[in-house]
Structure 1
Amino acid sequence: MNQLAVKNFGHPDESMDLSGHGKKDTVMIDGMPVELSEFRKGWRWSNDVKPIAGTDSCQAHHLGYCIEGHLVVHMNDGTDKDINAGDAFEIPAGHDAEVVGDDNVVLVDFGKAFDNR
């Protein structure tokens, strides 16, 4: 990065609806994506994103911060981990995830930028 850059999620470079159970907005900073995702009650990756991704599990690497809500991540190896508001997280490729409870989950994901370092 050679210069100061600021982007606002109110004007994302890309926006994706996640089967009515959520959305993902992306801003690009110096060619790297930063994603703000909101998942609603009932959202599960295998139900809402798998048909879009075309893979059995999420193959993205995530590095981020949970702003609100409660998410459980199910790794392909059988490991489960809770992510709650205030948690920073790293999730390797090969997982499913779902919202737990009635509250929306809001996450900021720097994973793809992390992969490009």
Structure 2
Amino acid sequence: MAAIVRKSFDRADETRPFADGKGRLDLIQTDGGAVGRAVFEPGWRWSEHVKPLAGTDSCRAAHTGYMVSGRMKVVMDDGTSEEYGPGDFMQIDPGHDAWVVGDEPCVAVDWTGFAQYAKPAS
């Protein structure tokens, strides 16, 4: 039987705030897994605002997503880097730091890496 689903990130199933009010992650649960929309405020940096929650030296999530607005720089543990902006598809392996570039909030949608992202370590 065919199905059709509609959900809104504005009424997410779960919201996880980042440290220092530097943004949030809104999660929607689907039959295919969690899909997240993250809003990263200017000044946000993974190593400052998510690392304390994750308890790892670098981001251990793999990301597959779409950059809606703003700009983000991603630097892998080996030093390779890329900058993403509006309309860009992104695929990022585990082992990286990232930060917002400029004065505009960065909004990204990710359908592989946000299920455990910014979740306090247990």
Give me the TM-score of the superposition, normalised by structure 2.
0.87
Tell me the CA shift for residue 5 of structure 1.
2.0
Q: Does 1:71 align with 2:67?
A: no
The aligned counterpart of 2:49 is: 48
Q: CA 1:104–1:112 in 2, change beyond 3 Å: closer, same or farther?
A: closer
Q: Contact 1:7–1:29 (CA<8 Å) still a contact in 2? A: no
Task: For 2:10 and 2:60, locate their aligned partners in 1 and report how far apart those are by CA, in whole Å.
Answer: 27
Task: For 1:30 and 1:7, locate their aligned partners in 2 and report how far apart those are by CA, in whole Å.
Answer: 12
Q: SS of the counterpart of 1:10?
A: helix
Q: Deviations over 1:69-110 (max 9, x none)?
A: 010001001101000111011011000000011011000001
The aligned counterpart of 2:95 is: 94
Tell me the CA shift for residue 111 of structure 1.
1.4
Task: For 2:4 and 2:30, locate their aligned partners in 1 and report how far apart those are by CA, in whole Å.
Answer: 10
Task: For 1:111 and 1:95, locate their aligned partners in 2 and report how far apart those are by CA, in whole Å.
Answer: 16
Q: SS of the counterpart of 1:33?
A: strand
Aligned pairs (5 A) from 1:1-117: 3-19=3-19, 20-30=21-31, 32-112=33-113
Unaligned 5+ segments in structure 1 are none
Give me the TM-score of the superposition, normalised by structure 1.
0.91
Letter in 2 for 1:102: D
Tell which deviates more after alignment, 43-52 or 4-13.
Answer: 4-13
Tell me the CA shift for residue 4 of structure 1.
2.2
Q: SS of the counterpart of 1:52?
A: helix
Q: CA 1:43–1:112 in 2, change beyond 3 Å: closer, same or farther?
A: closer
Task: For 2:97 and 2:40, locate their aligned partners in 1 and report how far apart those are by CA, in whole Å.
Answer: 13
Structure 1: which 4+ aligned runs deviate by more than 4 Å?
none
Task: For 1:13 and 1:65, locate their aligned partners in 2 and report how far apart those are by CA, in whole Å.
Answer: 20
Tell me the CA shift for residue 31 of structure 1.
5.1
Tell me the CA shift for residue 37 of structure 1.
0.4
Q: Identity percentage over the alignment?
A: 44
